[in-house]
Amino acid sequence: MSAAIEFRDLYFAVPQGRLLLDDISLALEEGTTTAVLGRSGSGKTTLLRTMNRMVEPSGGAVLLHGKDVRDADLISLRRNMGYVIQETGLFPHFTVERNVAVVLEAEGRPREERVRRSRELLDAVGLSSEAFAHRYPHQLSGGQRQRVGLARALAAEPEFLLMDEPFGALDPLTRAEMQDMLRGLLDGMMKTVLLVTHDLDEALYLGHRIVLLSDGKLIANLTPEEFLVSHQPEVAAYVQAFHRGSQRAVSPSRVEEGRG
Amino acid sequence: MNSSFLTQYGSEITTLTIEHLWLTGAAMLFATAIAVPGGICLTRSPRWAKLVIGVANVLQTIPSLALFGFLLPLPWLGDRAARIAILALTAYALLPILRNTYAGIRGIDSSVIEVARALGLTDRQRLFKVELPLAAPFILAGLRTATVTCIGIATIAAAVGAGGLGELIFRGVASVDNRLVLAGAIPAALLALAADAALGLLERRLKVPA
């Protein structure tokens, strides 16, 4: 069986010559969530964007079920990939309902179907369709907007879901709520998900596999359990920083200082 | 301005106002038909934007009286003064519409455009469902500036015999009759104000709250 997504010897060079992706080879199994972890500038967003051809790699290939994405029709390729980004990119002049159904609208599906699907998804992402369908994006909070963005990405029942730091701009509580909601939602679907994040916690919670990129190179491709105990220096550094972060949050010395 | 003046000139003022509106209206139609698609094309190939907007900018700086004069000796155009007037007014109206169409589309939040592309909207769908509706208030603002400018410049068209309210102004100046000058200037100013208010209202209605 071929992998749902395969990156093969993938290169991406910026005009100045620097490699944003440096010989990436990676296969993702169907129906799994892969979290791509890395610092800013590590190439993780570029990797995600080669999938829906928002960028064209300088070398190598991206294969979906063994077929090169360059041979696919660009529009149907993209409609088969939900896309969620940190800034949400909701259409400010569309109601929530129309935003969610925009791909169905682009496909020319009938209105009743669009309304029905839109409401179904709003409820699924935890927004009461009754209350939210006719609102506009500017009337929503950040978390609500992100939920609409997710509903929109799922509306046309795409096989793939691409998420680029979807919860990066949310406060920690809302973020955790969104992660719970997403995990519950994905459990019931057979989607192949690529989730770009810089947050190890999120990667551990949502990913079946964690891929670490650094300076455009693939450093590790591990399960969350393997990731936590890996002795690879870059992986260990990431895990250490993560542990330090959570310890620092309850550091007794700061508590003392605060009292003093 | 007393009532006998109005009885004497009333029908002429009406005719000239209609003529004025027709000159401006025709020019605005042509300018919109050129500059809105033109501005959209420029957003697709931004490296041309500087050059094209630059040319439109230069057109704008030609003194209107001179432009009317330049066009006068041209064949076909020179036959009918209205043609000259409409061509010159079109040239003046291009810049604000072109610039605002270009800036209005380029100014849309880049994440909105990115998502429109990534979700698989076709170029056409992106243009008509996303870019034009979101840029509409800017395009309208350009149209509004262009219209108000054209209503003003159209008064000069009378210098080449194209008619319009400038006719009264020029006659008033020649005969040192301020009443005639005002009979041309006041309706022209009112037209400009009315166009400004009407298009302004439309612009506000199209604005998307952020």
Looking at the predicted structure, is the pLDDT value of residue A258 above 70? no
Q: Is B205 on the interface with A (CB under 8 A)?
A: no
As a 3-state breakdown, chain B gives helix, strand, coil percent values, each rounded to 5, of: 85, 0, 15
**Residues of chain A contacting residue B107, judged by C-beta atoms under 8 Å apart:** none
Looking at the predicted structure, is the pLDDT value of residue A257 above 60? no
**Number of separate domains in chain B:** 1
Residues A130 and A258 in one domain: no
pTM (2 d.p.): 0.88
Residues A140 and A175 in one domain: no
CA atoms within 13 A on the CB side of B81: 14
Q: Mapping DSSP to helix (H, G, I), strand (E, B) and coil, where does residue A214 land?
A: strand
Search chain B and give the residue with CA nearest A152.
B119
Question: What pLDDT, on a 0 to 100 scale, did the predictor assign at position A45?
Answer: 94
A135 token code pair: 């609102």
To the nearest whole Å, the CA of A167 is away from the closest chain B CA by 15
Residues A236 and A200 in one domain: yes
The CATH number covering residue A227 comes to 3.40.50.300
For B57-80, what is each residue's pLDDT tens digit? 898 888 988 888 888 888 887 778
**Residues of chain B contacting residue A93, judged by C-beta atoms under 8 Å apart:** 133-134, 208
A162 token code pair: 């691409």
**Contact state of B120 with A79 under an 8 Å Cβ cutoff:** yes
Residue range A81-87: mean pLDDT, rounded: 95
Q: How far apart are CA B191 and CA B18, in angstroms?
A: 10
User: A144 is in which domain, residue-wise?
Assistant: 83-157
**Contact state of A91 with B130 under an 8 Å Cβ cutoff:** yes
Residue range A48-65: mean pLDDT, rounded: 95
To the nearest whole Å, the CA of A158 is away from the closest chain B CA by 10
Contact call for residues B106 and B43 (beta carbons, < 8 A): yes
Residues A179 and A259 in one domain: yes
Q: Is B115 on the interface with A (CB under 8 A)?
A: yes
Search chain B and give the residue with CA nearest A137.
B210
Complex ipTM over 0.85 = yes
Reported as type and span, the H/E element at residue B57 is: helix B49-61
The least confident of A85-99, A142-156, B158-172 is: B158-172
> A1 vs A129, which has greater pLDDT?
A129
Taking the alpha carbons at both ends of chain A, their separation in whole angstroms is 64
Reported as type and span, the H/E element at residue B107 is: none
**Contact state of A87 with B111 under an 8 Å Cβ cutoff:** yes
For B9-65, what is each residue's pLDDT tens digit? 889 999 999 999 999 999 999 999 999 999 999 999 989 999 999 998 898 888 988
**Number of separate domains in chain A:** 2
Residues A178 and A250 in one domain: yes
Looking at the predicted structure, is the pLDDT value of residue B209 above 80? no
**Residues of chain A contacting residue B129, judged by C-beta atoms under 8 Å apart:** 91, 102, 105-106
Sign of the CA dihedral A94, A96, A101, A103? positive
